[in-house]
Structure 1
Amino acid sequence: MIAPDDLICLKAIALLGGLSSAVSVSSQSLAQELGISPQTASRRLISLENAHLISRTMRGDGQYVTITGAGEESLRAEYAAYRRIFETHDRQYVLEGELISGLGEGRYYVSIEGYVSQFSDKLGITPYPGTFNVKLSPASIETRRKLDAMEWIEIVGFTDHDRTFGGAKALKCSINGHACAILIPGRSHYPEDIIELISEVRLRDVLGIEDGAAVTIEVTR
């Protein structure tokens, strides 16, 4: 098995183009790329060569390095491992928190036709006139940040009766099997531990809960 430090070195060579052709690599340039000393860079090149993961040739203008078939296989194995980590299908994120009352603005905004039509077309939700607000637990705040890397659905801003309404982004989710969506206005005034959701039903009623009740939100990638 390739040592972690050697794998980092091999990846750096690949990023320089060493998978497709011989690339000029000196101990000094590699050291600068990896943030190590030239002596350490030289030892790693020797280690990779001894393991038959790279081949090195000297030319008049310096040293050239090519990643071998075995070296490419090592990189592909690492790539496959990262794909299993980051591209697992149907990964589920769980957010936990407690139900809180909103500021009262949601009822107005989610009833505006320019938003309602987009919620229906893009989310499959004709929203109940009001939002469901949750204060996340400290442990769920970091999970909430991870959701930013997901593919959110854009809700486009529009003008209606000479008034401009801003855009937003939405992410489908569910609470106790009830379809809903996290909604973040383009100019959100909420802190990061507060999220606002829309649903076709008044979730407070169908769930039979009031402020302070525990809520679990599931987001499936």
Structure 2
Amino acid sequence: MQEARQSLDNDGVVTLRELAALGALDGTEKLSCADLADRLDASTQTASRRLQRLEDGEYISREILTDGQLVEITDRGAQRLQAEYAAYQRIFEGETVVELTGTVTSGMGEGRHYITLDGYMTQFRDKLGYEPYAGTLNIDLDEDSVRSRTRLSAVDPVTIEGWETDERTYGPAYCYPATLSSAGRSYDTAHVIAPERTHHGDDHLEVIAPDRLRAELELDDETEVTVSVSE
């Protein structure tokens, strides 16, 4: 995430929500600052400033026309709305369930190396209650799940603390309880693991479990799998 991007305050979230209600989440929507101002119960100047901040923060993209503007909520904006939704879901429903879908892919072997390090493995045994299989299941998420992944912020993870040796420092990781399902088979003793330091983007998910998930669920590369995360 780039430093130049601005964080979103409450006014920004409200404005983004109104744009979604107008249809800007599903595609480009034409509107005027005056129309948006009416929906926000604010001045035209205020509406214009809010749109500018959303654009600067890459929450929306827009094209200025002579009679208005074309506005579309970006993936970043959609992810922010997903996080807002998850927060309210937790308040009113008591439990957050996040379903992510993608296809299995081969990793680069980094997960196997880091998971087996004593500084992490000891904490896995103590905090997760099992010793993970030496390797992670790598999943490439579909487009909708990339957006939904932001909702994980509403789930309290198990924190695996960072640690260090004389040679280097190892960062923390966050583990979210998960159930995996594919082709009628399921496995419910797993965790999505999200290292604080990673080379992967938001479209990639790693899962650990006490067993080799590829064997347990008969998974090959390109097999579709659903990951359900809940507290």
TM-score by length of 2: 0.57
| Separation in structure 2 between the aligned mates of residue 197 and residue 121 of structure 1, nearest angstrom | 18
Gaps of 5+ in 1: 1-33, 38-81
The question of 1:138 aligning with 2:133 is answered no
Distance across 2 between alignment mates of 1:152 and 1:87: 20
- CA distance in 1 between counterparts of 2:89 and 2:219 reads 38
Map of 1:35 onto structure 2: 42
2:103 maps to which of 98, 111, 134: 98
Of residues 116, 127, 131 in structure 2, which corresponds to 1:126?
131
Q: Once structures 1 and 2 are overlaid, which stretch shifts more, 116-125 or 194-203?
A: 116-125
- Distance in 2 (alpha carbons) for counterparts of 1:83 and 1:105: 36
Question: What 5-or-longer segments of structure 2 have no aligned partner?
Answer: 1-40, 45-86, 181-185
Structure (1 or 2) with the larger CA radius of gyration: 1
- Shift of the 85–209 alpha-carbon distance from structure 1 to 2, 3 Å rule, reads closer
CA distance in 1, matches of 2:222, 2:147: 21
Change (3 A) 1:83 1:214: closer
Tell me the matched-pair count: 146
Residue 89 of structure 1: aligned partner: 94
Q: In the alignment, what sits opposite 2:155? A: 150
Give the equivalent residue in structure 2 for 1:70.
Answer: none
| 1:182 counterpart SS class | strand
Deviations 1:33-63 (A, max 9, x none): x6359xxxxxxxxxxxxxxxxxxxxxxxxxx
Amino acid in the other structure paired with 1:35:
A
One-letter amino acid of the counterpart of residue 186, structure 1: E
Aligned CA-pair RMSD = 2.5
- 2:211 corresponds in structure 1 to 201
Structure 1 pair 139/114, CA: closer, same or farther in 2 (3 Å)?
same
- Give the counterpart of 1:181 among 162, 184, 191: 191
The aligned amino acid for 1:187 is: R
Amino acid at match of 2:221: D
| CA offset digits 1:102-147 (Å, max 9, x no partner) | 1111111101111011112222231000010100111111111111
Q: Confirm or deny: 8 A CA contact 1:110 1:127 kept in the other structure.
A: yes
- Equivalent residue number for residue 78 of structure 1: none
Where does residue 229 of structure 2 map in the other structure? 219
Find the aligned partners of 2:166 and 2:89 in 1 and give their Cα distance: 50
The question of whether the paired residues in 1 share the 8 Å contact of 2:187 and 2:217 is answered with: no
The TM-score, its normalising length taken from structure 1, stands at 0.60
